[in-house]
Structure 1
Amino acid sequence: MEPQDTQILIVDDAREIREPLGQYFRKQGFRVQLAANAMDARRMLDEANIGMVVLDVMMPGEDGLSLCRWLVEHGGPPVILLTGMAEDTDRIVGLELGADDYVTKPFNPRELLARVRAVLRRVPSSAPAVSNGTRRFGGWLHDPVAKTLRHADGRTAELTSGENRLLSVLLDNPRVVISRARLLDLTAGRDAKVYDRAIDNTVSRLRRKIEADPTAPGLIVTEWGGGYMLAVEVEDA
């Protein structure tokens, strides 16, 4: 994805940060929208074709983490968080929610530009197709079209687009160890730059939805130095 094809939404309540960043990215060839709060950001996301969101965590009203969660759950554009230097918890929570990267304040705009370009290089022009068939595994029924899971005991779970694609790949390859790099390629069509954290974060969120004990997973297991494996049989439903 080239800069001239990308529209960036910068969301920050501080005008002295928001407006200079907008000017800087325009000079770099990007189209830019600016929002002072989450409400304005949601409106712009509805009205414009946004390809990247640079999102401040600490904002009055709805904060950046809440907006990040909403973007991930609705298959929105990639997100880079702007966090305070001492806010380790915000960075960790943001990455667990599905943010693609973060930059700590104060920062050099050139560093943020490099992070934006790195994330955009990993974003496919279109999401790869997933299997349309419903399948059973470990007591769960997966419906990839509806992006839902239903357990035999009545529990249900909704999946983000990323979680849905990852689970579909694992269901296509039961009891096969798939490296993080290969999972990136199969789920997002990204280039050869390995972004382990993105896959790890998606696996972590998926485990919290399907594992009896996410700290001791029995369905999606980690193969150290290798990747991840679906450790149960899969049946067409």
Structure 2
Amino acid sequence: MSKLLLVDDDKELSKLLGEYLINEGFEVTLAHDGEEGVIQASKRDYDAIVLDVMMPKLNGLEALRKIREQKQTAILMLTAKGETIDRIVGLEMGADDYLPKPCNPRELVARLRAILRRGNTEEEAEPAQDEIQVNQLYLHNKSHSVFFDEKPVTLTGAEFTVLELLMRSAGEVISKELLTEKALNRKLTPYDRSIDVHVSNIRKKLTNAGANKELIINIRGAGYMLTIQ
């Protein structure tokens, strides 16, 4: 049973969502402000965390930052409908995905299951494909680890999956549509910049480890490519 932390100050909505998620097979812990959410996240290893952006004491973005200082648990942000900036900032700070409020509980379950599938490395296919190396960049699937020139690179679950897809097709362009479908398990929609932000985060982390800024390039109108240098 997947362990889930749901952090939202709307107690009535949290109770309803919690009951729905329990019926869908999740073990749910509730927290009703950002500060409590950070405390709960530090106490226990959850499979995923759902964070509302607008909360008292600590808002969702502040809570996200504090959780990311400790853990790489998969995090889905609940954002106000139309608040694009919150979504982008959340992704830049390390959220794996977002969902606008009010959200359909079925859509929330689908997003959570997609995130959990990405994190379940034991279900990854053939052992021969478990390790990927492109020049100085090395990815190990079972341990969910990435190294550049033997330096560890810490990635979120979504970032790891995006990089894995790019590495498996090194030297070839992968469209944003395909990256969204394969990495986030959903269709690309207009104005959805999730993949762009995830790639930007990966670039920054690889560059900090010593990689060339052009290791991952954007082919305008086509998608992204991991270059073979």
In structure 2, what is the Cα distance between the partners aligned to 1:25 and 1:160? Answer: 25
Residue identity over aligned pairs, in percent, reads 26
Find the counterpart in structure 2 of residue 22 from structure 1: 14
Q: Which amino acid aligns with 1:135?
A: Q
Question: Which residue, out of 133, 136, 155, partners 1:135?
Answer: 133
Where 1:178 maps in the other structure, the secondary structure is coil
Distance 1:164 1:194 in 2: 19
Distance 1:118 1:50 in 2: 15
Q: Which secondary structure does the structure 2 equivalent of 1:149 belong to?
A: strand
Whole-Å separation in 2 of the counterparts to 1:156 and 1:22 = 37
Deviation digits for residues 48-103 of structure 1 (CA, Å, limit 9, x no counterpart): x6555133454425x53244343598442341234698x76544311222431144
1-structure distance, mates of 2:31, 2:220:
42
Please list the CA deviations of residues 189-223 of structure 1 after superposition, one character each: whole Å capped at 9, or x if unmatched: x2x633653322221100112248xxx95221112
Matches within 5 A, 1:100-119: 100-103=97-100, 108=102, 111=103, 113=105, 116-117=108-109, 119=111
Unaligned runs of 5+ in 2: none
- Indicate whether 1:218 and 2:214 are aligned: yes
TM-score, normalization by structure 2: 0.66
What is the aligned counterpart of 1:194 among 171, 188, 193? 188
| Aligned partners of 2:6 and 2:30 also within 8 Å | yes
Is the 1:54–1:80 contact (alpha carbons within 8 Å) kept by the matching residues of 2? yes
Residue 41 of structure 1 corresponds to 40
Equivalent residue for 2:169, pick from 173, 196, 199: 173
Indicate if the aligned counterparts of 2:14 and 2:30 stay in contact, CA closer than 8 A. Answer: yes
Query: Residues 112 and 151 (structure 1 numbering): CA distance in 2 closer, same or farther, change over 3 Å?
Result: same
The alignment covers a number of residue pairs equal to 207
Runs of 4 or more off by more than 6 Å in structure 1? none
Deviations 1:4-44 (A, max 9, x none): x77653313x4xx1x20123225644564311323443156
CA radius of gyration, larger in: 1
